[in-house]
Amino acid sequence: MPAGMKPEEAGKFIQEEVAAFARTSRLNRMPDSGDDFIFDQPLVQFADGDDPIFSEYKTIIDSAHLKPREALARTYEKSPGDLPARLFVISWILPITAKTRESNRPQKTVPSRLWAYTRWYGEKFNGALREHVVKIITERGYLATAPFLQPYFKQMEKDNGPSSNWSERHIAYAAGLGTFSLSDGFITERGIAHRCGSVVTDMPLPISPRTARTPYSNCLFYVNKKCRACIPRCPAGAITEQGHDKKKCREYMHDTIGYINQKYSVDVQGCGLCQTRVPCEFRNPAKKLQA
Ligand code: B12
Ligand code: SF4
Ligand code: SF4
Tell how far the Cα of 184 is from the centroid of ligand 2, in angstroms.
9
Q: Over the range 112-130, which residues count as b (16 or more CB within 10 Å of their CB) and which as e?
A: bbbbbbbbbbbeebbeebb
pLDDT in tens, 27-59: 999 997 778 999 999 999 999 999 999 999 999
Q: Is 236 in the pocket of ligand 3 (CB under 6 A)?
A: yes
Q: What is the pLDDT of residue 5?
A: 83
- Nearest-atom number in ligand 3 for the CA of 185 is 6
Task: Please list the residues that pair with 145 across neighbouring strands.
Answer: 200
The contacts of residue 42 (CB under 8 Å, 6+ apart) are 18, 19, 22, 92, 93, 94, 95
Among protein residues, the one with the nearest Cα to ligand 1's atom 67 is 272
pLDDT tens-place string over residues 66-81: 999 999 999 999 999 9
Distance CA 133, CA 46 (A): 13
Using a 6 Å cutoff on CB, does residue 192 contact ligand 1? Answer: yes
Write the burial class of residue 230 (CB in 10 Å: 0-12 exposed, 13-18 middle, 19+ buried).
buried
Residue 265 Ramachandran class (φ > 0 left, ψ -120 to 50 alpha, else beta): left
User: What share of the chain has pLDDT > 70, as a percent?
Assistant: 98
Q: How far is the CA of 131 from the centre of ligand 2 (A)?
A: 33
Burial of 71 (0-12, 13-18, 19+ CB in 10 A): buried
Which residue has a Cα nearest atom 85 of ligand 1? Answer: 195
pLDDT at position 220: 97
In what helix (H) or strand (E) does residue 187 lie, and over which residues does it extend? Answer: strand 187-188
- How many Å lie between the centroid of ligand 3 and the Cα of residue 155? 19
CB 218 within 8 A of CB 212: yes
What is the reported pLDDT for 288? 82
Ligand nearest to the CA of 250: 1
Atom of ligand 2 nearest to the CA of 181: 5
The per-residue pLDDT for 3 is 61
Q: What is the pLDDT of residues 223-282, one digit of tens each?
A: 999 999 999 999 999 999 999 999 999 999 999 999 999 999 999 999 999 999 999 999
Domain boundaries of the chain, sorted by first residue: 7-290
Enter the pTM of the model. 0.97
Task: Report the residue among 216, 218, 220 best suited for mutation to probe ligand 2: largest number of ligand atoms under 8 A from its CB.
Answer: 220
- Cβ-based neighbours of 54, under 8 Å, separated by 6 or more: 67, 68, 174
